[in-house]
Structure 1
Amino acid sequence: MMLIDTHTHLDAPQFDEDREEVIQRALEQGVTRMINIGFNRETIPTTMELAEKYDFIYAAVGWHPQDAITMQDGDLDWIAELCKHEKVVAIGEIGLDYYWDTSPKDVQHKVLREQIGLARSLGMPISIHNRDAHEDIVRILREEKASEVGGVMHSFSGSWEIAKMCLDMGFHLSFGGPITFKNAKQPKEVIAKVPLDRLLIETDSPYLTPHPHRGKRNESGHVRLVAEAAAELKGISLEEIASITTRNAMERFGIR
């Protein structure tokens, strides 16, 4: 059985003491590939280091909405240059975040639009971060013709109505630890309706740790727990959900 963690942050400082052990545990759980996310000036270089060190770790690079205000002239060109690297499979995570008041909304919008434009020019899929900004995300994705490249709605948390809009634009929906939470009614309802060929799984480690480890540090090996929950919600076996989500991820991100 093979699994792919489509969104992780293995370069985070939470792993500085035992990164090798965390990666080994993921492999032991059947996680054969991981996509690490570089999202600002500090994490893009460390993400690239991981991707170059491990054959099974890939990279996505972009500018996170919380850090949008720090983006400078030349950073978009930097991302474009990195996208030529054989291990870079997406631009992301990019998007909007209205929960944390760290970058003005107009700046977030500008940075998001620029990166969608870059993705279209390069033919690269995008990984979308969306927190409390559902309507604006859908509007900007439509206005910037993001359907031309598609991508993934990372850690999807919207309603089924929002999900349908994203699916109509060619996006995959990715789910993580919250689908294992007892009271997470909406994500469970949504994942039950998502077509199997548009479904991805992730950890977003070290965050959003699934049950029964909730409250502790998350890690990529826990994507197996997400897969188990997804299998139950879809009414199929763990082996089937692993095969389907792995195939989806490899096709979406162009991973051989």
Structure 2
Amino acid sequence: MTDQAQPEITDSHCHLDFPDFDGEVDALIARAAEAGVTRMVTICTRLKNEPRVRALAEAHDPVFFAAGTHPMSAAEEPMATVDELIALAQHPKFVGLGETGLDYHYSADSAEVQQQSLRIHVTAARETGLPLIIHSRAADDDMTRILTEEYRKGAYSCVMHCFSSSAELGKAMLDLGFYLSMSGIAAFPKSKDLREIFAAAPLDRILVETDSPYLAPPPHRGKRNEPAFSALTARVGAEVFGLDYADFAAQTQRNFDRLFSKAAAWRKEGA
């Protein structure tokens, strides 16, 4: 049990299967626990890698997982099917669909296939009741249009992972009842505008994440990120909302449990 002086938080988005962490997962989890990070969701970005990501969740009590086709890989990977995603979602530690989304910064030439993939993931999220995990970059208009169109077909839950887009996209997503996740980007000194977007959002719609091994917050910027560092971003989040760290951490835990209700309800067999 974590010392009460160290509030518990959850890294809602990391990539523990990436080669950056080969042979270090046990140590990463131990360092995370020391920082109060007692749960993490590791994200599979190509479905062919799902068995490896699933194995991490099965081997480590604090680790949950999600799977989908990343938009930057959508043109290279076989198109996922709704049935395939629903089948994967039956695993007791599979807690979200994605990451999926749109990325026109690097991959605008595959916009059509990205949109098709996104809609498939939305349908699977709607049918399973699991949250959609969205990557959005340089695609605000299409993202707003597609997610709104899909929501009108039937409600679903969603988090805008590593949110760093416009205030307009943020408001549109919040208006649909979705969540915004703070990554290390929100802690960068030059991210004042982004922090203002978060400050204007409802506190009960905020998550924290690392997106590790990427986007390490200060003082580790430019180095490899890891789940423990989500506590550093959360401390910035507490400042953004004018809260004590313990109060902000507790609120993000409630938010995570509400959105990722399957993770909140999970108990290790025999525990």
TM-score, normalised relative to structure 2: 0.90
The runs of 5 or more residues in structure 1 that have no matched partner are none
Residues 37, 44 of structure 1: 8 Å contact kept? no
Residues 69, 107 of structure 1: 8 Å contact kept? yes
The runs of 5 or more residues in structure 2 that have no matched partner are 1-6, 266-271
Q: Of residues 59, 62, 70 in structure 1, which corresponds to 2:68? A: 62
Q: State the distance in 1 between where 2:23 and 2:128 align.
A: 37
Segment drifting more, 54-63 vs 143-152: 143-152
How far residue 145 of structure 1 moved from its aligned partner, in angstroms, is 1.6
How far residue 184 of structure 1 moved from its aligned partner, in angstroms, is 1.1
| Alignment map for 1:170-249 (pairs within 5 Å) | 170-249=177-256
Residues 44, 99 of structure 2: 8 Å contact kept? yes
SS at match of 1:70: coil
The question of 1:27 aligning with 2:48 is answered no
Q: Of residues 122, 132, 140 in structure 2, which corresponds to 1:134? A: 140
Q: State the distance in 1 between where 2:245 and 2:173 align.
A: 26
Q: State the distance in 2 between where 1:71 and 1:77 align.
A: 17
Equivalent residue letter for 2:220: H
Q: State the distance in 1 between where 2:237 and 2:103 align.
A: 26
Residues 82, 88 of structure 1: 8 Å contact kept? yes
The question of 1:123 aligning with 2:138 is answered no
Q: Which residue is equivalent to 1:37? A: 43
Q: State the distance in 2 between where 1:145 and 1:132 align.
A: 21
Equivalent residue letter for 2:91: H
Residues 65, 103 of structure 1: 8 Å contact kept? no
Deviation sequence 1:89-142 (CA, Å, 0-9, x none): 110101001112386110101111111112112222101000111111110001
Q: Of residues 10, 13, 19 in structure 1, which corresponds to 2:19? A: 13
Q: Structure 1's 170 and 74: CA in aligned 2 closer, same or farther, altered over 3 A?
A: closer
Q: State the distance in 2 between where 1:228 and 1:109 align.
A: 35
Residues 66, 97 of structure 1: 8 Å contact kept? yes
Q: Which residue is equivalent to 1:111? A: 117
Q: Which residue is equivalent to 1:82? A: 88
- Aligned residue pairs total 256
Residues 103, 136 of structure 2: 8 Å contact kept? yes
Equivalent residue letter for 1:4: T
SS at match of 1:85: coil
SS at match of 2:173: helix
Q: Of residues 175, 179, 203 in structure 2, which corresponds to 1:168? A: 175
Deviation sequence 1:53-94 (CA, Å, 0-9, x none): 112111111111011123426654332211011111110101
Q: Which residue is equivalent to 2:151? A: 145
Segment drifting more, 94-103 vs 195-204: 94-103
Equivalent residue letter for 1:51: A
Q: CA RMSD in A?
A: 1.6
Segment drifting more, 236-245 vs 55-64: 55-64
Q: State the distance in 1 between where 2:169 and 2:114 align.
A: 20
Q: State the distance in 2 between where 1:177 and 1:66 align.
A: 21
Q: State the distance in 2 between where 1:73 and 1:109 align.
A: 11
Deviation sequence 1:142-167 (CA, Å, 0-9, x none): 11127711210001112222211101
SS at match of 1:152: strand
Residues 3, 246 of structure 1: 8 Å contact kept? yes
Q: State the distance in 1 between where 2:97 and 2:61 align.
A: 19
Q: Of residues 5, 10, 33 in structure 2, which corresponds to 1:4? A: 10
Which runs of structure 1 show a deviation greater than 6 angstroms over 4 or more consecutive aligned residues?
Answer: none
Percent identical among aligned pairs is: 42
